[in-house]
Amino acid sequence: MTKYHSKPVNHEGIVNWSEEEHSIWYELITRQQTIISSRACTAYLEGLALLNLPCSRVPQLPEINAVLQKETGWRVEPVNALISFDRFFDLLADKRFPVATFLRSREEFDYLQEPDFFHEVFGHCAMLTNPDFAHFTHVYGRLGQLASAEQRSYLARLYWFTVEFGLVRENAKIKIYGGGILSSPGETLYVLNSDRPVKHPFDIQRVLRTPYRIDIMQPVYYIVDDISELYRISERGLLQQIDLAMQSQLLAPLFSPKESSDAK
């Protein structure tokens, strides 16, 4: 359940954002631009430059779509705060990225569990200008349409450790491409500056069997060698990889049960 509700979108794709929401957007984006400038991967920074998101106001969906459609044929689709798995996979399979049209409140300025407009647009849309990332996300959606309920739980782990919390190696340095990190100031600093999280080279079987929680700083991350590796991963028969992973037990979680663990 969520306390947030998406704002209406008119027939031209325009949202009537309030002055307070423009102010929240300004504070979110200006803070995060500074933090990610030396930590985000090249593909993300190039995509962010293409999007040219305004700082003084919340961007409108048609502005974002004009860039995405030109670069990779994608567009953003306004949705309610929460959508079903079926709709989520259908949208990705149609090269439409779901974006909830609400912004977080000041009470949850630093972190909220629901993916808001800032998370989806600032965190994810820049990477959707990259053809390899866009292809991976498209294939992911098509596979989700075909997957069983149990297979979808494994697909969720793949999405979590790539699209949301993925890392990439660039010139012997670790950089960020996952939108869940890039939209979070705390996690952006934590993932690269702290010695607490474990960072493994990407291994599809390990990723598919790694448990996660959405309400904590991640204890483990996976590193691809290049963003183009995502394209290769998407062409590796992922449902067959999932069937193979299902024959083994999940890895031991590196976090405490929710009742006794501190949230972000």
Which residues are known binding-site members?
Answer: 119, 124, 164
Q: With the C-alpha atoms ordered 114, 126, 174, 190, is the resulting torsion angle positive or negative? A: negative
Is residue 123 a contact partner of residue 180, using CB atoms and an 8 Å limit? yes
Is residue 184 a contact partner of residue 191, using CB atoms and an 8 Å limit? no
Long-range pairs for 201-208 at CB < 8 Å and ≥24 separation?
A: 201/225, 202/229, 202/233, 204/158, 204/233, 204/236, 204/238, 204/241, 205/241, 205/244, 205/245, 205/248, 206/251, 207/157, 207/158, 207/161, 207/162, 208/154, 208/157, 208/158, 208/241, 208/242, 208/245
User: Which residues sit in the known binding site for Fe cation?
Assistant: 119, 124, 164
Tell me the sheet residues that pair with 175: 168
End-to-end CA gap in the chain: 19
Enumerate helices (H) and strands (E) in the chain, giving the number of each: 12, 6
**Crossing angle of the two packed helices 131-146 and 85-93, in degrees rounded to 10:** 130
**Alpha-helical regions (H) of the chain:** 19-36, 42-51, 61-71, 85-93, 117-118, 131-146, 149-159, 179-182, 185-193, 204-208, 228-234, 238-245
